Amino acid sequence: MPNRLSKSFRAARIRLIDVEKRAERLARLLVEIEVALRRAEGEIEADARERIQTLHNEARERLAVLRGHQREASRLLRQLSTAAEGSWGDLDEAIDRALTEARTVADSMLERFRRAVPSAQ
pLDDT in tens, 64-109: 988 888 888 888 877 777 766 666 677 677 778 878 887 888 788 7
Q: Report whether pLDDT(41) > 50.
A: yes
Q: Which domain holds residue 15?
A: 2-120
Count of the separate structural domains present in the chain = 1
Measured distance CA(35)–CA(39) in Å, rounded: 6
Report which residue type is found at 53: Q
Per-residue confidence band for 57, with pLDDT thresholds at 50, 70 and 90: very high
Alpha helices, DSSP H, located in 1-121: 2-84, 88-116
Q: Return the pLDDT at 5.
A: 63
**Terminal-residue alpha carbon distance, the chain:** 80
Region 15-44: what's the mean pLDDT? 93
Rounded to the nearest integer, the mean pLDDT of the chain is: 83
